[in-house]
Amino acid sequence: MSTASQVSTRIEDPASVDAAIESRFSTRAFLPTPVPRATIEDILRVASRAPSGTNTQPWKVHVLTGASRDGLVAKVCAAHDAVRDNPALAAEYQEEYDYYPSQWVSPYIDRRRENGWGLYGLLGITKGDKEKMHAQHQRNFRFFDAPVGLMFTVDRVMGRGALLDCGAFMQNIMVAARARGLHTCPQAAWNNYWKLVMQHIGAGEGEMLVCGMALGFADESALVNRFHTPREPVANFTRFHD
């Protein structure tokens, strides 16, 4: 798209743009239906129009399908089971950067709890049911059965702003996926197992895992896909300065 067309383009159907954004949710059950490579490439092409500081475009994407996807699933699920059986092994699987705060405070801890117990409640997982919790958490490492797994990395030499840029790129992917009838689930759960992930995808030593993402066609009959998180009203997070 030329600069001229970018400036002059008019969005003829803004409702469809809004619908793509508002219908995005963390899908936790996918169909095995393959996603054509051409579709994945087209989504990534569109998403690459995301903004980045001084146009550095710091994101890198590793697309896993077929045997490569299945191989990573097997490795990380085995490690996840090993940590369950021997909690001391958790020290070997620490995330490379802090995604969450070291100490939770309100209102964030309240929203986190609402999210967790809302999901578990829907699935009939009660507090203290460690086996069911473990199995549900491990669904992350199976990409929730999605046929496509995406791993996002940035070079460690970059600053924290690269994470912001990568987030904008990922949002574009999720919205572009909706425009094509697909769903996604961004996943920070992979971060603890970054060493296994990076070795599997052959990432360079200078790369850092940002997070993963599942991509595919949603299983509309799955109970878990009825779970949708609330959003705060605009007035709660906005201040207008006139």
User: d(Cα 149, Cα 141) in Å, to the nearest integer?
Assistant: 10
Q: Enter the DSSP assignment of 24.
A: -
Helices (H) and strands (E) in the chain, counts: 9, 4
Q: Which range marks the domain in which residue 40 is found? A: 23-86+139-227
Cβ contact 143:73 at 8 Å: yes
Tell me the β-bridge partners of 207.
155
Q: Which amino acid makes up residue 189?
A: A
% of the chain with per-residue pLDDT over 70? 98
7, part of any domain? no
pLDDT class of 61 with cuts at 50, 70, 90: very high
* pLDDT value for 188: 97
175, part of any domain? yes
Mean pLDDT, residues 52-73 taken together: 98
130, part of any domain? no
Residue 220, domain CATH: 3.40.109.10
* pLDDT value for 64: 98
- The model's pTM: 0.95
pLDDT class of 5 with cuts at 50, 70, 90: confident
Cβ contact 118:229 at 8 Å: yes
pLDDT class of 6 with cuts at 50, 70, 90: confident
217, part of any domain? yes
Mean pLDDT, residues 169-196 taken together: 98
Total domains in the chain come to: 1
Cβ contact 182:31 at 8 Å: no
Look at residue 4 and tell me whether its pLDDT is greater than 80. Answer: no
57-70 b/e (C-beta count within 10 Å ≥ 16 → b): ebbbbbbbbeeebe
Rounded mean pLDDT of the chain? 96
Look at residue 211 and tell me whether its pLDDT is greater than 90. Answer: yes
Side-chain half-sphere exposure of 216, counting CA atoms within 13 A: 23
pLDDT class of 206 with cuts at 50, 70, 90: very high
117, part of any domain? no
Look at residue 220 and tell me whether its pLDDT is greater than 80. Answer: yes
User: d(Cα 153, Cα 24) in Å, to the nearest integer?
Assistant: 22
Cβ contact 2:206 at 8 Å: no
Side-chain half-sphere exposure of 221, counting CA atoms within 13 A: 1
